[in-house]
Amino acid sequence: MTSNRTPYRPFRKRLAFAALLCSLPLLAYAQSYPAKPVRVVIPYPPGGPTDILGRIVAQGLSARLGQQFVVENKPGASGMIGADMVAKSPADGYTLLVNASLHVITPSLFLKMSHDPIKDFAPITQIAQVPLVLVVNQQNPAKSLKDIIAQAKAQPGKLAYASSGNGTAPHLAGEAFKMATGVDVPHVPYKGSAPALADIIGGHVTYMFDSLPSSTSFIKQGTLRPLAVSTTKRVGSLPDVPTVAESGIPNFDISTWYGVWAPAGTPKDILRKVSGEISAILKDPEVAKRIASMGSDPVGSTPEEFDAYARSEQVKFDRIVKASGAKAE
């Protein structure tokens, strides 16, 4: 008996051949990419960690791919102005976005946005992760996380914790800490880490989850005492400082991180090519050393890995924002 599928085999072959022909222009396009300068949009002012990491990546890509990757700073509105410009750019691989984790936090903080940080962007790779460290003034008697929790519970509403701004990872880490421990500690937002740390040192606020790079010098000077780091693993530069999870709050894992995106619809072969090149850049010993000197851990992930991570981070931060009532500045 003849199978009734036999007459369709030639048709299947023709379909497969047609699909191959359709994919050839895209493959050739990806192989020739980049054929002209590429814009690398950084939605913050020059000099900050996002700008520094973005320029490291752009310089590395220029050297490896033989084409200019030109950095453009487009600050404003918690990074949304620059991100919106990239979201509305052609999906051809010639406009990239380097942004911090605030990219996926903004939908939880702002009722109206002109772009969706997940749907309107194609993830390329995570560049780096920056642990947060809970610090207190050296004069504070607390020597551990349990000590600061005991202080807060003994004086409900009397202590205060600082952050570098409403809706930032340090702020949301502080709120997650409150929810996990049940302490009543008011939040005092500042316009960046520097003024917040000044008030920690001056004794005006009790503690702060701060980005490790901005606290490191004060920790080395002995002005600040680190009690715990916010990531699941200890930090190489502070090997004796336990994690929050080790200190009695399981599954606590909050950090600031940085990544690269393109407009949604950018050909996957281009995304993979750029991702692979950036991963190679991050593995260079000199680059890795430079990033480590900033208190950051270089990552380098595939587009698929970064997509899954960014989505999970958005869910986590959204839960914290809703539970805490955090608002944008």
Helix (H) or strand (E) holding 255: strand 255-263
Query: Which residues fall within 8 angstroms of residue 53, CB to CB, at 6 or more apart?
Result: 98, 127, 128, 258, 291, 294, 296
Task: In whole angstroms, give the CA distance from residue 149 to residue 123.
Answer: 38
Q: What is the pLDDT of residue 240?
A: 94
Q: Which residue has the tokens 């939908």?
A: 107
What stretches in the chain show pLDDT beneath 70? 1-30, 329
pLDDT for position 268? 97
pLDDT of residue 212: 87
Residue 166's pLDDT is 83
The pLDDT of residue 10 is 53
Q: pTM score, two decimals? A: 0.81
Whole-angstrom distance, CA of residue 58 vs CA of residue 305 = 21
Provide the pLDDT for residue 26: 47
What's the distance, CA 99 to chain centroid?
7
Which pLDDT score is estimated for 1? 43
pLDDT the model gives residue 305 = 98
